[in-house]
Amino acid sequence: MAEGTDTAKAGARGNGDEVTAVRAFNRFYTKEIGLLGRGFMGTPYTLTEARIIWEIGRTRGAAEVADIRRTLELDPGYLSRILAGFARRGLVVRERSREDGRRQVVRLSGSGRAAFRSFDRRSSAELGELLDRHTEVERQSLVEAMGEIRAILGDPERERRHELRGPEPGDHGWVLERHAAVYSQERRWGEAFEAYCGQVIVDFLSRDDRGRERCWIAELDGVRCGSIYCTRRTEDVAQVRLLLVDPWARGCGAGAALADACVEFAREAGYRQIMLFTNSSLTSARRIYEALGFEFRAEQPEDIFEGGDSVGQEFWLSL
């Protein structure tokens, strides 16, 4: 069976325990990266001032004031006062845009560029020291968790770039964990479904038939977000297994990319057909398959889908 990519309905407003957990993380993190002192990273600038300088510096030393205000969501009067203070201290120069005289541009002076470089060096050095205290596995887990936080909370600056790669140590366990967790929450599928997914993975690893079977892991901005397996059903028929895109990453195109890679591999491996089992409730997955030319052939109840009135469905594609 190939699992789908439907988005679950939004949950209820965060409960007390969730709010408490987020607040506790905020208190820990602001202390851990040194945001509670009088100045940002030992400089004479507040966090807001340092961020404004950084926003100007990262755009080659010049930025429109309206863009800074929109990016940082600052009050116009508050931003204007900070920029006026920067101008008095010789950090920036304010001028009218050459393209539109109604818009104001702010540029870093030599002193402003020096402050920007100082922030950049200090930030990299201090965070490097923080990360060096942890193992490679811990660092990777931290980066993945931070990527998920940015994605779930809707950070507009995240790149949203997805890539496919082969499995690495730990990835098959991750695939099982995500299938069990996601579909338990979204569909209430329980132990029977988890056992099914586990058996698919065990069989794939046991056969170790790399010429005719393959697994792909999708990453979004460097964070694992999805999976798919192409397995051998018969000598002439391949089967799509365990397609999943994590809820936070849906809509980026990873699901379609995974399915396309699976079909292309099956064709190159010499199969004449490729088929899959899915569930009638996974309409987004069905759209992905139909876009590739899969045709519905049959459906029947499946014990692994506990609860609800959905049924298993079978789709086929000639290669």
162-318 architecture in CATH? Answer: 3-Layer(aba) Sandwich (3.40)
User: C-alpha distances in angstroms, 89 versus 64, 83, 106, 240, 293?
Assistant: 20, 10, 14, 63, 64
Beta-bridge partners for 219: 163, 224
Q: Please name the amino acid found at residue 126.
A: E
Cβ-based neighbours of 128, under 8 Å, separated by 6 or more: none
* Angle at the Cα of 98 from the Cα atoms of 92 and 103, rounded to 5 degrees: 70
Q: What is the pLDDT of residue 157?
A: 63
pLDDT in tens, 69-82: 888 888 989 999 99
> Rounded distance, CA 248 to CA 220, Å?
10
> What pLDDT is recorded for position 309?
62
Do 276 and 244 form a contact (C-beta atoms < 8 A)? no
Q: Is 212 within 8 Å of 232 (Cβ atoms)?
A: yes
CA distances to 40, 71, 229 from 245, rounded to whole Å, are 38, 29, 13
Q: Which CATH number fits domain 16-133: 1.10.10.10, 3.40.50.720, 3.40.190.10, 3.30.590.20?
A: 1.10.10.10
What is the side-by-side strand order in the sheet with 92-96?
62-64, 104-108, 92-96
Structure tokens at 98: 């050459």
Looking at residue 198, its pLDDT comes to 97
Q: By CB neighbour count within 10 A (0-12 exposed, 13-18 middle, 19+ buried), where does 255 fall?
A: buried
The pLDDT tens digits along the chain (319 residues) read 554 544 444 444 557 788 888 888 777 777 776 666 656 666 778 888 888 888 888 877 688 888 888 888 889 899 999 999 999 999 999 888 777 767 888 889 988 888 888 877 887 887 888 888 888 878 877 877 887 787 777 776 666 678 999 999 999 999 999 999 999 988 888 899 999 999 999 999 999 999 999 999 999 888 899 999 999 999 999 999 999 999 888 888 999 999 999 999 999 999 999 999 998 888 888 889 999 999 999 988 877 777 656 788 999 999 9
Residues of each domain in the chain carrying CATH 1.10.10.10:
16-133
Domain with CATH 3.40.630.30 in the chain: 162-318
pLDDT of residue 61: 67
pTM, rounded to two decimals: 0.61
Q: Cα separation of 59 and 105, whole Å?
A: 12
